[in-house]
Structure 1
Amino acid sequence: MSLLERLNNDMKQAMKSKEKDKLSVIRMVKASMQNEAIKLGVKELSDDQELTVLTRELKQRKDSLHEFDKAGREDLVEKLRTEISIVEVYMPKQLSEEEVSEIVKQTILEAGAKSKADMGKVMAAIMPKVKGKADGSLVNKFVQQHLS
């Protein structure tokens, strides 16, 4: 079942069970996917493109969560935590820190990186491997650790 089909089914279910938060988030994600398809001039997004949109939606919410938390807006923080948990359901299984560390070590060896000057080259090689499965800041942290 494609992601769009899953979103449609979950949207119907959310309507039936009157889950307003879930319905709202699913509609926002679907709208983002449709906008991306229009922007790219395609009828349907590929799995990779869908993952890109989902990742972007999740990142926007996490960034907003951080800002609202700093501002002490607990009402908005709770709402965003709920939205994040709903979006995360559609994301692929996340890699553990150990798995990310192993991928980083392997990629550093493959790229022949020696110092922090090679960080851009290593990050460019790693990110496609962990797309949607690991947070970029976590990958960045491990790359810095292993290159120092």
Structure 2
Amino acid sequence: MSLKQQITEDMKTAMRAKDVSRLSAIRMLLAAIKQREVDERIELDDEQILTVIEKMLKQRRDSLSQYEAANRQDLADVEKLEITVLQTYLPQPLTDAEVAALLDQAVEASGAAGMKDMGKVMAILKPQITGRADAAKVSALVKAKLS
């Protein structure tokens, strides 16, 4: 079953269970997927859907920190719920050791010698870490390794 089909089935389950908050988060996700499909005139595959989910998670985390800073616990709780729902569709996250091993393989495969080769290394790593590790953290590790 594709990720999009799984999300649709989860929406139906939430409807049957009358779980309004979960249903709202899933509908928001499906709307974002559909919007990207319409904008780009393509059918998204699982990897592209994971990219959409990661983008939405980043937005929710940013909003959460702002709401907490403003003492708006009611809005922060909504964001936390949405983050929880979105995270259920991500694959198992990579451990630090697995990320380090992938980084070493990518550096070796690209023949990277310095910071000018960071793009080559990230191009190799990106498909392997999508949905499984924070790209910003991996990017920082690549910078540290190449400098």
Q: Please give the range of the TM-score, normalised by the shorter of the 2 chains.
A: 0.7 to 0.9
Q: Which runs of 5+ in 2 are unaligned?
A: none
TM-score normalised over the length of structure 2: 0.87
Q: Which runs of 5+ in 1 are unaligned?
A: none
Q: CA deviation at 1:107?
A: 0.9
Q: CA deviation at 1:60?
A: 1.6
Q: CA deviation at 1:67?
A: 2.6
Query: 2:88 aligns to what?
Result: 89
Q: CA deviation at 1:5?
A: 1.9
**Separation (CA, whole Å) in 2 of partners of 1:33 and 1:52:** 10
Query: 2:33 aligns to what?
Result: 33
Query: 1:108 aligns to what?
Result: 107
Query: 2:52 aligns to what?
Result: 53
- Contact between 2:4 and 2:46, CA under 8 Å: does it hold in 1? no
Q: How many residues align?
A: 147
> CA deviation digits over 1:34-89, x for unaligned, max 9?
111111213x3222222222222222212222332333332222221111110010
Q: CA deviation at 1:99?
A: 0.7
TM-score normalised over the length of structure 1: 0.87
Task: Supply the RMSD in Å over aligned alpha carbons.
Answer: 1.8
Are 2:15 and 1:19 aligned? no
**DSSP 3-state at the match of 2:122:** helix
**Separation (CA, whole Å) in 2 of partners of 1:72 and 1:147:** 41
Paired residue type of 1:132: G
Q: CA deviation at 1:119?
A: 2.5
**DSSP 3-state at the match of 1:39:** helix
Paired residue type of 2:48: Q
